[in-house]
Amino acid sequence: MERQIKDVIGIGIGPFNLGLASLMDQTDEVDGLFFEKTPEYVWHPGMLIETMDLQVPFLADLVTFADPKSPYTFMNYLYEHDRMFPFFFHRHFEVPRQEYNHYMQWVASQLKGLYFGHTVVDVVDKKDAEVPHYEVIVEETATGEQKYFQARHVVLGTGNEPLILDGMDRLPNEDVMHTSRYLFEKDHLLKSKHVTIVGSGQSALEVFLDLLEEQDRQGDMKLSLFTRSGGLFQLDTAKFAQEMFTPEFVDYFHTLSLSQRKEALNTLGPLRKGIDPETLTRLYTKLYHRTTADQDSRVLIQPMTEITGIEAENEGYKLHCRQWQEEHEYTYQTDKVVLATGYKPHFPDWFMERFKDEIEWEEEGMYKVSRDYQLLFHDQRDHHFFTLTDLVHSHGAGATNLGLSVHRNVHIINTIAGKEVYRNQKDTTFQQFSMKNFQ
């Protein structure tokens, strides 16, 4: 690892920073290093359920929207692994989660400058140096050794962490778990008589479906699903609705005031939180066939119900429930609980300690971000701190979309290079979002 000042250091190696590294690998305009605390690349290992697919098409890989000729496209992955014909005959636009994870591992194995098992423990702003830069302090997990690196720019890509109920962290992982640990604890679930899933999104339904398959083999295990939403609603996959995941809409969204952006996000709920239509069809079809002769008493689906608390009781767990529409409160007994309660942005401790008072905030918990993904500092600077984490409030529903992540990385690379290294797609919508175009 060289000691010179790099163009950029990426903190965290998830799909977003891996895509950035993949694009940087194919140009001499920008160089950098990337650090990740986990020992190897793996994407949501607790939810790599067999037969479950991504919710976006295969073109939303790490690089295609910027460089379809790159050696790191998903199509080249298929070619190199002799899977072109099977994928062609499969005739499925979405990629299985396990295969997408393997694709990203394949890309990561070819890139230089990726360091796993290395935790960034501090970032120091050297704004008064002859060449303003950031000093990044990294600790190697295996040895505890600290190392120092310099870069003109930093990209924060630390992703999200599980959002859990109050008190859940005091309960055994094998009994009460977030979906992020589902496959790690699945054997414990299968030994129980009653499993309850809490949540209304894609992860909740994937776990529910997987356990339904196991129930066919187990026989007497009961499954319950509680959702706070009004029902199991599907993701809006209509053509015009999908135009909200385009550079044009991001351009428009970013110009709105914070209150206008919040209001817009409320209207875009079906694009962000719905369930894949195919997943819902699979669930309904399975339940229909299983209830041909009689109602299946081993399955309960209860919408409009929020879980307000959980406590251990009688070798199991008591859920405190509230059917919010009827305003009816009650308790529900179960053996195991899987919480599909989503995620929240993860920020390292040093980030708030070092930069909270240095950057601008739109309101508490929402930092100001430029169109090209820079945190805005109180002082003017040429050494930038980019973020790939917590961008929904500033860049819209597509902030977590895999396809738009390539568009985001193109902005970052071009800004660092000071020139157009990669071209972003233009005129990608039939809809016009702003009336300013007519003035």
- What does DSSP say about strands 328-334 and 176-178: parallel, antiparallel, or unpaired? unpaired
Burial of 39 (0-12, 13-18, 19+ CB in 10 A): exposed
What pLDDT is stored for residue 56 in this prediction? 87
137 lies in the same domain as 167: no
The b/e string for 249-288 (b: 16+ C-beta within 10 A; e otherwise) is bbebbbebeeeebeebbeebeebbebbbeebbebbeebee
DSSP-assigned states of every residue in 309-333: EEEEETTEEEEEEEETTTTEEEEEE
What pLDDT is stored for residue 2 in this prediction? 47
Is 412 part of a structural domain of the chain? yes
142: three-class secondary structure by DSSP: coil
Residue segments in the chain with a per-residue pLDDT below the cut of 50? 1-2
The answer to whether 239 and 223 have CB atoms below 8 angstroms apart is: no
Amino acid at 369: V
155 lies in the same domain as 170: no
Nearest C-alpha neighbor of 54 from the set 256, 222, 270, 278: 278
What pLDDT is stored for residue 438 in this prediction? 64
Residue 22 CB neighbours (<10 A): 25
Is 258 part of a structural domain of the chain? no
Mark which of 294, 320, 339 sits at the end of a domain.
339
Is 253 part of a structural domain of the chain? no
Residue 96: alpha-carbon gap to chain centroid: 16
86 lies in the same domain as 150: yes
What pLDDT is stored for residue 400 in this prediction? 87
Non-local CB neighbours of 123 within 8 Å, separated by 6+ positions: 11, 134, 135, 136, 137, 154, 350, 351, 354
259: three-class secondary structure by DSSP: helix
CA dihedral 8, 12, 14, 15 (to 10 degrees): -10
Q: Quick: pLDDT tens for 38-92.
A: 999 999 999 999 889 988 899 999 999 999 999 999 999 999 999 999 999 999 8
Residue 59 CB neighbours (<10 A): 16
Domain that holds residue 354: 5-159+346-438
181 lies in the same domain as 64: no
Mark which of 339, 372, 395 sits at the end of a domain.
339
The answer to whether 268 and 397 have CB atoms below 8 angstroms apart is: yes
Q: Which residue has 């809490």 as its token pair?
A: 198
110 lies in the same domain as 211: no
19 lies in the same domain as 68: yes
Is 148 part of a structural domain of the chain? yes
Is 252 part of a structural domain of the chain? no
104 lies in the same domain as 212: no
What pLDDT is stored for residue 220 in this prediction? 82
Mark which of 285, 320, 339 sits at the end of a domain.
339
Q: Which residue has 């959980």 as its token pair?
A: 310
Q: Which residue has 């209207």 as its token pair?
A: 267
- What does DSSP say about strands 336-339 and 176-178: parallel, antiparallel, or unpaired? parallel
Is 264 part of a structural domain of the chain? no
Is 263 part of a structural domain of the chain? no
Where residue 298 falls (left for φ over 0; alpha for ψ -120 to 50; beta otherwise) is alpha
148 lies in the same domain as 196: no
Q: Quick: pLDDT tens for 296-314.
A: 778 999 999 999 999 998 8
394 lies in the same domain as 328: no
The answer to whether 11 and 137 have CB atoms below 8 angstroms apart is: no
207 lies in the same domain as 219: yes
216 lies in the same domain as 328: yes
> Which CATH number do you get for residue 400?
3.50.50.60
Number of domains observed in the structure of the chain: 2
- DSSP-assigned letter for residue 169: G
CB-side neighbour CA atoms (13 Å) of 139: 7
Residue 66: alpha-carbon gap to chain centroid: 20
Nearest C-alpha neighbor of 396 from the set 256, 297, 193: 256
Is 269 part of a structural domain of the chain? no
55 lies in the same domain as 106: yes
What pLDDT is stored for residue 1 in this prediction? 44
139: three-class secondary structure by DSSP: strand
